Amino acid sequence: MRNLNDFIVFAHVVDHKGFAPAARALNVPKSTLSKRVAELERTLGVRLINRTSRRFTVTEIGEDFYRHAAAMLIEAEAAEAVVKGRLAEPSGTVRITASVPTAQMMLAGLLPPLAQAYPKMRVMLHATDRFVDVVQEGFDIAVRDHFAPLPDSGMVQRRVATDAILLVASPAYLETSGHPRDPSELSRHDGLLASLTAEGWTMRNEAGVVVRVRPMPRFVADESDVLLSAAVSGLGITALPRKICRAEIEAGRLMRVLADWEAGSVTTTLLMPHRRGQLPSVRAVVDFIVAHVPEG
């Protein structure tokens, strides 16, 4: 196996344009550097440097070899920087953007403990439902809840969790209108939908059977809390992520409909610009969120 340290020695010698200046910069005897480069040449079977008492020139193949050795040196320094960065205490400002529901349901409970864990870090959250250009607006992390895979944006993506979408209704509604026993029966029930243009719900059971269902549109709202309130009030059946309706189910104000079926899933993903994603403070926030967000 090649001695990769000799590659690095060679890159330093070329960078400093000679053995003597490289020896002074590295605080290593000149004879040691000369010996290591000679050993590298012997191992490779080529001459990389033509050297006399007055001249120091890199051969043509030595120039080609240098480009790769220098790249390896850069990567080695970057690897060391990553380790040092992880050992450093995270500090500075981390700017996060998320939708209003995500901020309320997920980040509200996570960010205060995060700030307490890293006293030298300042966390800034911008909650908005408008489109945010993460790079142009200077955000370090965007938290996205999405139903379909995110497009390739050139940013680092880290999946945090996937949450099942459940059909739910109030006990009062089900007592009056009946409990559906099969997805086909949903067409006779009042539906609380996120859009008038929605085609209904795509249902999947544990056996992998997929069916499309369309209830009678009874109420439409493109905001989850409104649909949740409508369902609790007994207006009909709606489809909501588990994390949104879990508390109402546990309190008995909602019941699952067709408990063996799910109406899709919502995935939470963190997006980061490549450059900012390497900062210790940003990595600390990402790791904290990943560690504390439970899977649905």
Last residue of a domain, one of 54, 87, 120: 87
Report the percent of the chain where pLDDT is more than 90.
Answer: 51
Burial group, residue 116, by CB count within 10 angstroms (0-12, 13-18, 19+)? exposed
Residue 122: which domain range? 90-296
State which of 58-67, 164-173, 194-203 shows the largest mean pLDDT.
164-173
pTM: 0.62
> Please, which pLDDT band fits residue 85 given cuts at 50, 70 and 90?
low
More confident: 209 or 55: 209
Question: 């009874």: which residue's tokens?
Answer: 218
Check whether residue 79 and residue 45 sit in a common domain: yes
> Please, which pLDDT band fits residue 195 given cuts at 50, 70 and 90?
confident
The confidence score (pLDDT) of residue 153 equals 73
| CATH code (residue 34) | 1.10.10.10
The confidence score (pLDDT) of residue 205 equals 93
State which of 30-44, 172-186, 280-294 shows the largest mean pLDDT.
172-186
Most distant CA atoms of the chain, gap in Å: 100
Task: Work out the average pLDDT over 146-150.
Answer: 82
| CATH code (residue 203) | 3.40.190.290
Check whether residue 169 and residue 296 sit in a common domain: yes
Average pLDDT, the chain: 88
Check whether residue 182 and residue 115 sit in a common domain: yes
The confidence score (pLDDT) of residue 1 equals 55
Check whether residue 103 and residue 228 sit in a common domain: yes
